[in-house]
Structure 1
């Protein structure tokens, strides 16, 4: 049996310089340690603190680092019975769910089960990520601990308890450079449930206030929404603590118009950047929740589904994107836990780490960061041929404000006509970029003005990016 200590913290609030900031233009993120633009290339690892051993964590972080990810999104109070089910070391976060007293023991030696507690394990994850140059996108809690009868819960937070808990968590990590705070946990700010309207925004605001009280009002905070087709701007459109809007295009449909939601945010709320924080996951069944799913019918999100949606979210104006695999977010190991709905596939999380898009999507980050100017905007007027209308054929284009480059994403390997006069005058250098390999191919068309036709190098790759630079 572990003997828990009640710790009393006496601390002076200090203003900590944020490591992640929004550029003055609101067009991109910046890492203040380097002063360089930062492209959010996240991975969803929701159960990382809850279901993984130290050895597992090192294996996972090393793999994701090698694949070019830079933000690991994980939940302190996890979704899958995270308050009551022990972690891999037999620990839970609280010794008393009524008072939310932290289950803290003396010492932190992982070789001593009596010393190493739940919070020591969270510390280990954060520091192990920092050693590898990775940010932890830290969700203090999944939304079921806040929302009314929505998830396994239990619902334990009101305004007061939320502030107290978040203050303690912020004090613990206020000096840790690699924390990005993410509130929300897959829930809207307000909603209808069981015929009643519920507004949880006071609870989330209490957490935000605790963060800024401890870490300073420049601290980067965002909000992870549910897959409801709404951005966090729908609930927090004018609040100073929110640094970046986010949407979740999610797993309910292949036809989700992620581009429309990002475009709407940038038009209506230009004072903040936005991104899709949870696109569809590789190997996730398409809308499995209504009892009508079949493999032959809706099937699974393919690698092309996932990759194309992520490119669209960025080309519509997103400042980053987050990858996910259905086996990885839950760290699927059927010897330890029953799977969350997987259809008829059971892929162990270690095998899933090497899935197709996981090894490809860093090419998107590399493509965006290779441009000298991060002041991008969507400009589909570059496309002089048919632009498409839905998830199957929609072509999206982005260019910089100085009109010296353009990137055009094609979801199908078909001829496209481009109005080069939309860019600055001068010689145009045109390449095709393969999103699966990161390879560039020089275009055979070397024209520099007018409406010009370009054809992808091969039709064996489904999607392509046309890259145009003004020399």
Structure 2
């Protein structure tokens, strides 16, 4: 009985810890739980169409799966990209009456309420976008229509802030769009001000920009911008995502930063180069389930499970406060028999268990095991040649030199300078980021310089963790 009671207590403590509101750490580098300053590891998933496309049963399945996989944040959009204000949700409800943000439809928002509440019950923080960016003027129009000016943006923001004042969430303004001009900046400022007025500044806020950009490029000075978010995008394999993190880390005043949309698992590399975005496009090579059966038109290939791991470790070891995973079928909640936005290889349910998604739990496991909040970028540890691309190596160390983490996208020989760590005797292990297994190494001294990563399989990625004795 004592054992059972103690186990129950641990479960309750764990659940309470994950329903606390978030804040920014004292050193302004990462997120924390507000009540006790415990570091919060952002492991997100882009479920942009969650509120719009899924019914309650489907949403519960999605949320439970991601919670079981160790995700901590779910990013979703209230006014969604796929014609989210004119095409109704799974229950036939539109968000507004007559497309008027001052006249919200209670039935639509009750569905949003349900999903946020259920996510919170599972210990998930919701990263909520009030609207996709195409509902505000930009130089890259989408389904739209443009709905917001300063006045109604503030009113809608206040409505959302008041409605979700007690929810466990982070507000993410923007939605894949740059700030076109000062008038557009004023609209987003007004929406942020409305949210803050509605929720009493209870929740953190950031901005989701267009591809290959960061909120720090044009909103770093905004008083409502608590941390930066960048979109490293889907342009190429071995994208140097660490450059975004390092650029944002150098900005003043200091703010946390993270990759809110990297390359998605199963999305075609640089897909926009091969698409016209017209109705019926690729219908001749799409099967009856609405999934792509012939990949040959996309000559640059598709991102896979290893691709998303490479970008995860490169981001975090460059100083990001976390990482957001994404899958091409999941973001659009592609269902069998439907048309896709970007050609999908599976439906959203099958995509939930793709190898990259399953490996994300081991990203979190490693960085919570070794105090990620203490890490600082430390490329100086690597003294052998370190080019960009598939053989690039990233390194970080604990700020006092008590341990170091080195990530290799591919097995190779390399050299380290261990004099930069806080000892002359060390222990170490190789960590397999595919499955979380560890291979312990014999104790060694500071003279150990040349290292060789495990070579099986020959294209595997590996993490080396070195700890001061």
Greater CA deviation, 210-219 or 178-187? 210-219
What is aligned with 2:252?
269
Cα 1:93–1:421 shift into 2, 3 Å: same
Q: More helix by proportion, 1 or 2?
A: 2
The reply to whether residue 211 of structure 1 matches residue 201 of structure 2 is no
Distance in 2 between residues matched to 1:18 and 1:464, nearest whole Å: 34
8 Å Cα contact 1:39/1:320 also seen in 2:
yes
Look up the SS of the partner of 1:406 in the other structure.
strand
Distance in 1 between residues matched to 2:236 and 2:252, nearest whole Å: 26
Distance in 2 between residues matched to 1:424 and 1:340, nearest whole Å: 51
Distance in 1 between residues matched to 2:67 and 2:216, nearest whole Å: 31
Distance in 2 between residues matched to 1:29 and 1:291, nearest whole Å: 38
Cα 1:373–1:87 shift into 2, 3 Å: closer
Look up the SS of the partner of 1:200 in the other structure.
helix
Q: How do 1:39-438 residues align onto structure 2 when only pairs under 5 Å count?
A: 39-98=41-100, 100-104=102-106, 117-148=107-138, 150-176=141-167, 178-190=168-180, 199-217=183-201, 219-227=203-211, 229-269=212-252, 271-291=254-274, 294-295=296-297, 297-335=299-337, 337-342=338-343, 345-372=344-371, 374-388=373-387, 390-438=388-436
How far is the alpha carbon of 1:87 from its aligned partner? 0.7
8 Å Cα contact 1:27/1:376 also seen in 2:
no
How far is the alpha carbon of 1:357 from its aligned partner? 0.9
Can you list the C-alpha shifts for 1:172-227, whole angstroms capped at 9, x where unaligned? Answer: 01012x1111111111123xxxxxx6752111111111122232346311111110
How far is the alpha carbon of 1:240 from its aligned partner? 2.1
Distance in 1 between residues matched to 2:323 and 2:109, nearest whole Å: 29
The reply to whether residue 38 of structure 1 matches residue 40 of structure 2 is yes
8 Å Cα contact 2:403/2:468 also seen in 1:
yes
Cα 1:214–1:284 shift into 2, 3 Å: same
Distance in 2 between residues matched to 1:372 and 1:273, nearest whole Å: 16
Can you list the C-alpha shifts for 1:226-261, whole angstroms capped at 9, x where unaligned? Answer: 10x221111112222111111101112225321112
Distance in 2 between residues matched to 1:218 and 1:50, nearest whole Å: 26
Aligned residues: 430
Distance in 2 between residues matched to 1:146 and 1:457, nearest whole Å: 50
Look up the SS of the partner of 2:467 in the other structure.
strand
Look up the SS of the partner of 1:374 in the other structure.
helix
Give ranges in structure 2 of 5+ residues lacking alignment.
1-18, 276-294
Greater CA deviation, 272-281 or 142-151? 142-151
The TM-score with structure 1 as length reference comes to 0.87
How far is the alpha carbon of 1:295 from its aligned partner? 4.5
Cα 1:199–1:416 shift into 2, 3 Å: farther
Cα 1:252–1:372 shift into 2, 3 Å: closer
Give ranges in structure 1 of 5+ residues lacking alignment.
1-16, 105-116, 191-196
The reply to whether residue 449 of structure 1 matches residue 439 of structure 2 is no
Can you list the C-alpha shifts for 1:22-71, whole angstroms capped at 9, x where unaligned? Answer: 10012221112553211000011000000001000111111111100010
Greater CA deviation, 286-295 or 402-411? 286-295
How far is the alpha carbon of 1:373 from its aligned partner? 6.3
How far is the alpha carbon of 1:421 from its aligned partner? 0.4
Can you list the C-alpha shifts for 1:128-182, whole angstroms capped at 9, x where unaligned? Answer: 1111111110000000001336110000001111000010011101012x11111
Cα 1:162–1:452 shift into 2, 3 Å: same
Look up the SS of the partner of 2:90 in the other structure.
coil
Distance in 1 between residues matched to 2:97 and 2:299, nearest whole Å: 46
Distance in 1 between residues matched to 2:85 and 2:202, nearest whole Å: 31
Look up the SS of the partner of 1:442 in the other structure.
strand
Greater CA deviation, 158-167 or 287-296? 287-296
How far is the alpha carbon of 1:294 from its aligned partner? 4.5
Cα 1:198–1:211 shift into 2, 3 Å: closer
Distance in 2 between residues matched to 1:165 and 1:296, nearest whole Å: 41
8 Å Cα contact 1:258/1:309 also seen in 2:
yes
Q: CA RMSD in A?
A: 1.9
Distance in 2 between residues matched to 1:457 and 1:309, nearest whole Å: 20
How far is the alpha carbon of 1:120 from its aligned partner? 0.8
The TM-score with structure 2 as length reference comes to 0.88
8 Å Cα contact 1:384/1:451 also seen in 2:
no
Distance in 2 between residues matched to 1:428 and 1:270, nearest whole Å: 36
